[in-house]
């Protein structure tokens, strides 16, 4: 791996932007479908459970501070088993991660803004920018994230403030109408969209961070920023649009931006607001892609990721065009395949690695004890 | 050399990629729809779209031959087909993103509006910020043909007039698409839409003569609410009932009402702020509704003599009178809807659902038939008079003494 270092603040921003990613567009409706007006409770619980899972993932990086995910699993599972498990996981992650997000931005633009533009045009243009970013490397991506994050925050805060006058508190009532049952699938989808894919960030940190000891804290703060922003967008959707509209629309946050109307004067600014989603989606795709490419390099012992970027980028863009035959297939795939997979990748996999680590530790602890016996 | 070649290629590629997108729409290629109306003719939809003519709105020359807006109509088995069929008569592609008014013909409203709304909600061009109205007695098409003074584009007149009357008078309500869909999909609230009437001779109203006189012989007037049973219109509220309805919603910003003054004249009170809290509760397994209405107002005008406004007791008396009047207004509309229409347009079911979701679950299926018509509603009104305008006691008192 090339020796690149990013700062802690950059790591925080990367984590936040990566988590917000596509979630800011789809999370409100994904939660409202199941939990209705209690979507915000589901998000809140999701943040709690998600933070625990994140802590679990971070524990791995604390135990092996100078290794990335593939190296850790190679060490714990053995060289060949570790490589092949990682290869398979990264393969599916590649389909469900960068490819799906890239096609999501194509769908978003063709559904909401430019319905007659072929999706290829959008995907190729956006894919080209992602390729450029990833080819230039982690440092460039991290710095551009640092530059663009204030703009994202500015847009997001103006969206929230401008909508505040349209909040209807009774939309959130009654709390827990159908009991806590429907919250469970909603919490699951929140975690699987927002928290579990964070595992892939272990490809980037702590190995590439300049102050490794504080990297975990930086990631944690980033995840809190990201999830609070998502919680806020869920609350806004429920309070402004109501649960029915939130549930039925594809992109509730875009509808929220459409609702902005201050005195019949400050209105129709949703396309400006869409810049916000371009920023977060760009970083979601880029870091997903960067991490998978870096993972493959590690698996095949390639020193430099640059030669792989372009060929894998071709695959990324072409797949993004036709991976889903239609929108409903995509929704089904996300619910039935992606959610279980993300639990395997983000929860079971680190648990397995931690378990193996534990077993090793017990064994190695047993060994020195024996050696002490002769005294 | 390589660098220059690369740059050249880049500019070439950029000129292809950045020159525009597939979906470009030049302003001069669009017909900007400002109002749309739907009627049902047989089993076909008849769509009428009012399109602004930008040149006519901006031009200062007097007596230009063209009207500031034009109306295209087309029919189709579905609304979407009708909208696209319009391209056969319209010279430009019709662009709906700037729609301000959506008028539903009464005949269509009686048959159900839900099918029409799906297109508006699904299509990306329609936003959610236009207002709905039901054209009373006339078709939507006839309504959209009337020429209007001051606001030369009728759709703008309809839009601003609905906004203003909602704000300062109160028998109308500007309903947007998302509110309407929320009401339609809720089991505890049925939607209402403001009615729209043509007053006067509609045949003159269609001609330019209508706006050439100081008094326009025919004009568009909002009047009362259309009561819907889910998506079908079943009746109308008159102005008084409509105002009572708005009071229950508690979103009245300003309004005026009069109360009797010493049995011979009237005192007008200008309401400035209102709030209404509708709370549902279950008493002995029967649903009850409590409405707490509070308002603040000023004395707007005194049309009687002998009223001593300098005494605080008089103000108190006026407050009590106003409170009784408000209770009557609210009771009248509730009683009418409970006995005549038997649909919960007030959101009382929603109030029960919010306060007691468990009880609501067992009642929601026959809420309108069984529970709503006999629902006890307790009204508590709190009216405060703060000021008396720019004068204190009326000069009418002096006139009576010298007479």
3-state secondary structure A188-251: HHHHHHHHHHHHHHHHCCCCCECCHHHHHHHHHHHHHHHHHHHHHHHHHHHHHHCHHHHHHCCC
B90/A contact by beta carbon, under 8 A: no
pLDDT of residue A222: 92
Q: Do B129 and A258 touch (CB under 8 A)?
A: yes
Q: What pLDDT is attached to residue A165?
A: 86
**Domain B249-403: what homologous superfamily?**
Nutrient germinant receptor protein C, domain 3 (3.30.300.210)
- Quote helix, strand, coil % in chain A, to nearest 5: 80, 0, 15
E strands, chain A, where? 261-262, 266-267
Q: Give the C-alpha separation, A65 to A159, whole Å.
A: 39
Instruction: DSSP letter for A174, please.
Output: S
Q: Give the separation between CA A232 and CA A104, rounded to whole angstroms.
A: 22
Query: Cβ contacts (< 8 Å) between A258 and chain B: which residues?
Result: 127-129
How high does pLDDT run on average in chain B?
Answer: 86
Contact A244/B186, CB-based, under 8 Å? yes
Task: Encode pLDDT of B177-227 as tens digits.
Answer: 988 998 888 888 899 999 999 988 888 888 888 888 888 888 889 988 999
B163: nearest Cα among B147, B178, B180, B175: B175
Give the pLDDT confidence score for residue B403 in this predicted structure: 54
Cis peptide before A174 (omega within 30 of 0): yes
Identify the CATH number of the domain in which residue A51 sits: 1.20.1740.10
CB B194 within 8 A of CB B134: yes
Domain presence at residue A321: yes
Name the domain count of chain A: 1
pLDDT digits (tens, 9 = 90+) for B360-403: 888 888 888 888 888 899 999 999 988 888 888 888 777 765 55
Residue A47 belongs to some domain of the structure: yes
pLDDT of res. A113: 85
Residue A71 in any domain: the answer is: yes
Cis peptide before A206 (omega within 30 of 0): yes
Yes or no: say if B272 and B235 are a contact pair by the CB < 8 Å rule: no
* Mean pLDDT of the region A259-271: 83
How close is the nearest chain B Cα to the Cα of A226, in Å? 29
Flag the least confident range among A177-181, A199-203, B176-180, B188-192. A177-181
3-state secondary structure of B302: strand
Task: Tell me the shortest Cα–Cα distance from A175 to chain B, in angstroms.
Answer: 8
Phi, psi torsion values for B215, nearest 5 degrees: -100, 120
Backbone φ and ψ of B395, nearest 5°: -75, -10
Percent of chain B with pLDDT over 70: 94
> Residue A373: inside a domain, yes or no?
no
Contact in structure between A13 and A222 (CB atoms under 8 Å): yes
Cα torsion B147, B151, B157, B161: sign? negative
Domain ranges of chain B: 27-236, 249-403
Chain A residues 258-277 within an 8 A CB cutoff of chain B: 258-259, 261, 267-268
Kindly report, residue by residue over A6-55, the tens digit of the pLDDT: 888 998 999 999 999 888 988 999 899 888 888 899 999 999 999 999 98
Beta carbons of B144 and B197 less than 8 angstroms apart: no
Question: Which percentage of chain A shows pLDDT scores above 90?
Answer: 27
Give A371's pLDDT tier (boundaries 50, 70, 90): very low
CA angle B304, B307, B313 (to 5 degrees): 145
Query: Looking at residue A228, what is its pLDDT?
Result: 93
Residue B76: count other Cβ atoms within 10 Å of its Cβ.
16
B390 DSSP 8-state letter: B
Spatial separation of the C-alpha atoms in residues B295 and B323, rounded to whole Å: 9
Instruction: Please give the pLDDT value at position A315.
Output: 92
Question: Which residues, other chains included, contact B326 with Cβ-Cβ below 8 Å and sequence gap of 6+?
Answer: B247, B257, B293, B295, B381, B383
Helix (H) or strand (E) holding A318: helix A306-322
Structure tokens at A311: 């060929």
What are the residues whose beta carbons fall under 8 Å from the beta carbon of B187, sequence distance 6 or more? Answer: B349, B364, B367
Lookup result for tokens 């919010």: B354
The structure tokens listed for B230 are: 């889910």
In a domain, A154, yes or no: yes
Distance CA B397, CA B306 (A): 5
Q: What is the mean pLDDT of residues B94-118?
A: 90
Domain of A69? 8-351
Contact B129 A177 (CB under 8 A): no
* Contact (CB<8Å) B129/A173: no
CB distance A110 to A126 below 8 Å: no
Strand B232-236, strand B218-229: pairing: antiparallel
- Residue A36 DSSP one-character state: G
pLDDT band at A146 (very low <50, low <70, confident <90, very high): very high
Count CA atoms within 13 Å of residue A155 on its CB side. Answer: 21
- Nearest C-alpha of chain B: how many angstroms from A259? 7
How many whole angstroms from its chain centre is CA B225?
8
Judged by CB atoms within 8 Å, which residues 169-228 of A form the interface with B? Answer: 170, 173-174, 176-178
Q: Is B399 helix (H, G, I), strand (E, B) or coil?
A: helix
pLDDT surpasses 80 at A223: yes
Residue A372 lies in a domain: no
């Amino acid at each position: 791996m090339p020796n690149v270092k990013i700062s802690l603040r950059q790591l925080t921003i990367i984590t936040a932007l990566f988590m917000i990613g596509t979630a800011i567009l789809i999370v409100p409706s994904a939660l409202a479908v199941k939990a209705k007006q209690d979507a915000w409770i589901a998000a809140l619980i999701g943040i709690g459970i998600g933070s625990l899972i994140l802590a679990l993932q971070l524990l791995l990086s604390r135990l092996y501070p100078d290794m990335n995910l593939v190296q850790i699993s190679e060490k714990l599972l053995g060289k060949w088993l570790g490589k092949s498990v990682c290869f398979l996981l990264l393969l599916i992650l590649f389909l469900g991660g960068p490819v799906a997000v890239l096609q999501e931005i194509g769908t978003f633009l063709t559904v909401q803004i430019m319905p007659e533009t072929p999706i290829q045009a959008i995907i190729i243009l956006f894919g080209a920018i992602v390729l450029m970013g990833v080819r230039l490397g982690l440092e460039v991506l991290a710095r551009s994230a640092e530059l663009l994050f204030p703009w994202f925050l500015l847009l997001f805060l103006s969206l929230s403030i401008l909508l505040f006058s349209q909040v209807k508190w009774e939309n959130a009532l009654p709390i827990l109408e159908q009991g806590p049952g429907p919250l469970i699938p909603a919490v699951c989808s929140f975690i699987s969209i927002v928290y579990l894919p964070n595992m892939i960030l272990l490809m980037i940190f702590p190995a590439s961070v300049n102050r490794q000891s504080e990297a975990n804290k930086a990631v944690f703060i980033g995840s809190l920023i990201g999830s609070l922003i998502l919680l806020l967008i869920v609350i806004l959707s429920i309070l402004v649009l109501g649960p029915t509209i939130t549930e039925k629309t594809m992109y509730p946050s875009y509808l929220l931006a459409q609702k902005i109307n201050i005195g019949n004067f400050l209105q129709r600014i949703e396309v400006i607001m869409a810049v916000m989603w371009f920023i977060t989606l760009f970083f979601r795709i880029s870091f997903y892609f960067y991490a998978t490419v870096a993972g493959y390099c590690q698996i095949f012992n390639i020193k430099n990721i640059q030669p792989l970027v372009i060929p894998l980028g071709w695959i990324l863009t072409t797949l993004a065009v036709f991976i889903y035959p239609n929108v409903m297939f995509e929704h089904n795939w996300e619910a039935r395949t992606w959610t279980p997979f993300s639990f395997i990748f983000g929860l079971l996999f680190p648990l397995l690695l931690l378990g193996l680590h534990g077993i090793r530790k017990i064994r190695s602890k047993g060994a020195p004890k024996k050696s002490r016996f002769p005294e | 050399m390589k660098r220059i070649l690369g740059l050249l290629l880049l500019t070439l590629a950029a000129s292809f990629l950045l020159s525009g997108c597939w979906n470009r729409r030049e302003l001069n290629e669009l017909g900007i729809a400002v109002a749309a109306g739907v009627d049902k003719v047989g089993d076909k939809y008849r769509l009428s779209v009012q399109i602004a003519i930008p040149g006519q709105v901006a031009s200062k020359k007097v007596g230009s031959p063209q009207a500031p807006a034009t109306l295209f109509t087309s029919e189709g088995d579905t609304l979407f087909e009708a909208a696209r069929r319009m391209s056969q008569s319209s010279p430009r592609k019709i662009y709906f993103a700037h729609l301000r008014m959506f008028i539903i013909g009464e005949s269509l409203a009686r048959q159900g509006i839900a099918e029409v709304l799906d297109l508006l909600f699904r299509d990306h061009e329609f936003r959610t910020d236009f207002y709905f109205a039901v054209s009373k007695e006339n078709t939507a098409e006839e309504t959209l043909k009337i020429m209007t003074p001051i606001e030369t584009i009728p759709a703008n007149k309809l839009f601003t007039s609905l906004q203003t009357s909602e704000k300062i008078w109160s028998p109308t309500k500007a309903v947007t698409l998302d509110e309407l869909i929320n009401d339609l999909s809720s089991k505890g609230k049925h939607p209402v839409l403001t009615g729209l009437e043509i007053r006067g001779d509609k045949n003159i109203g269609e001609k330019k003569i209508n706006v050439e006189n100081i008094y326009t012989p025919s004009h568009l007037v909002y009047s009362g609410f259309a009561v819907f049973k889910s998506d079908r219109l079943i009746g109308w509220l008159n102005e008084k009932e409509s105002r009572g309805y708005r009071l229950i919603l508690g979103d009245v910003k300003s309004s005026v009402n009069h109360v009797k003054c010493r049995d011979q004249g009237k005192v007008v009170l200008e309401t400035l702020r209102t709030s209404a809290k509708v709370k549902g509760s279950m008493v002995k397994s029967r649903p009850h509704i409590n409405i707490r209405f509070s308002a603040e107002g000023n004395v707007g005008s005194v049309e009687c003599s002998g009223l001593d406004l300098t005494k605080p007791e008089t103000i108190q008396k006026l407050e009590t009178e106003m409170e009784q009047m408000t209770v009557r207004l609210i009771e009248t509309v509730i009683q009418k809807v409970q006995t005549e229409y038997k649909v919960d347009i007030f959101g009382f079911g929603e109030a029960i659902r919010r306060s007691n979701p468990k009880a609501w679950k067992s009642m929601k299926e026959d809420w309108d038939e069984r529970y709503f018509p006999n629902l006890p509603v307790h009204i508590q009104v709190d009216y405060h008079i703060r000021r008396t305008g720019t004068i204190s006691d009326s000069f009418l008192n002096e006139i009576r003494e010298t007479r």
